């Protein structure tokens, strides 16, 4: 497990972590109701949810802990943020989908929900990654593979393309939102990390 930060920093870092993960879950919920495409991992989560009847947020949680099992042979070190990531995002996502409408009929509103969702996820990522309390399960898997000699770019691409294809085959939504997320999330997270991080940043990877 990653070392704890000094006690004087732990409270502010935990607050940023929880705010960031909550925003992340809210952003994902807006992307789900927009129905214009999800991130590769969330296409997978949604596909599994459609096939099993399990709420998508619960699938996010189950998948997060399943991925954490793959950390064992990779000897990745987790932190408070890793466990919180695996739980909080899914809980918030399911909670928001109980509050929000099942779908939006107006195309303009769907675009607003999709673009707003991407932006909210990026802001949430800036808060929770910048808290420096551990990477999310999926990003730890990628960095773990990278430490075994696989390029992190290839590791990320291979894992996310696989998740996308499997999710699409299961009925997950692939669309313009998938492209917006794929090409826009990196620059947006980089921007918000500079604004929202607690220095020093312990973990440079997002989920």
Taking only the tens place, the pLDDT of each residue in 171-193 is 999 999 999 998 999 889 889 88
- Cβ–Cβ under 8 Å, residues 167 and 52: no
Total domains in the fold of the chain: 1
Of 59-63, 135-139, 168-172, the least confident: 135-139
Residue 177 located in a structural domain: yes
- Mean pLDDT across 75-98: 93
Residue 110 has pLDDT above 80, yes or no: yes
Residue 201 has pLDDT above 80, yes or no: no
Give dist(CA 29, CA 13) in Å, integer: 24
Q: What is the pLDDT of residue 2?
A: 65
- Mean pLDDT across 89-100: 97
Residue 1 located in a structural domain: no
Cα–Cα nearest to 131, from 39, 29, 12, 51: 12
Give dist(CA 111, CA 198) in Å, integer: 32
Mean pLDDT rounded to a whole number for the chain: 89
Residue 5 located in a structural domain: no
* 3-state DSSP assignment of residue 1: coil
Residue 165 lies in domain: 10-196
- Cβ–Cβ under 8 Å, residues 196 and 127: yes
Q: How confident is the model at residue 39 (pLDDT cuts 50, 70, 90)?
A: very high
Give dist(CA 69, CA 74) in Å, integer: 10
Residue 202 located in a structural domain: no
Q: Which pTM was predicted?
A: 0.88
Residue 3 located in a structural domain: no
Handedness of CA 142, 147, 153, 154 (dihedral sign): negative
Residue 199 burial (CB count, 10 A): 6
């Amino acid at each position: 497990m990653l070392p704890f930060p000094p006690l004087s920093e732990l409270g502010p870092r935990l607050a940023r972590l929880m705010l960031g993960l909550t925003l992340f879950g809210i952003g994902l919920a807006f992307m789900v109701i927009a129905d214009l495409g999800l991130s590769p991992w969330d296409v997978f989560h949604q596909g599994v949810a459609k096939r099993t009847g399990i709420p998508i947020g619960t699938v996010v949680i189950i998948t997060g802990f399943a991925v954490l099992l793959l950390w064992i042979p990779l000897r990745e070190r987790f932190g408070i943020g890793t466990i919180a990531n695996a739980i909080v995002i899914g809980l918030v996502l399911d909670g928001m989908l109980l509050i929000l409408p099942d779908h939006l009929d107006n195309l303009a509103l769907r675009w607003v929900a999709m673009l707003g969702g991407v932006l909210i996820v990026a802001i949430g990522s800036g808060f929770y990654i910048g808290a420096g309390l551990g990477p999310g399960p999926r990003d730890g898997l990628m960095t773990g593979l990278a430490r075994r000699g696989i390029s992190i770019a290839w590791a990320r691409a291979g894992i996310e393309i696989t998740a996308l294809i499997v999710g699409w085959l299961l009925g997950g939504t692939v669309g313009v939102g998938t492209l917006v997320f794929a090409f826009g999330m990196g620059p947006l997270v980089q921007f918000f990390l500079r604004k929202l991080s607690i220095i020093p940043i312990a973990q440079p990877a997002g989920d």
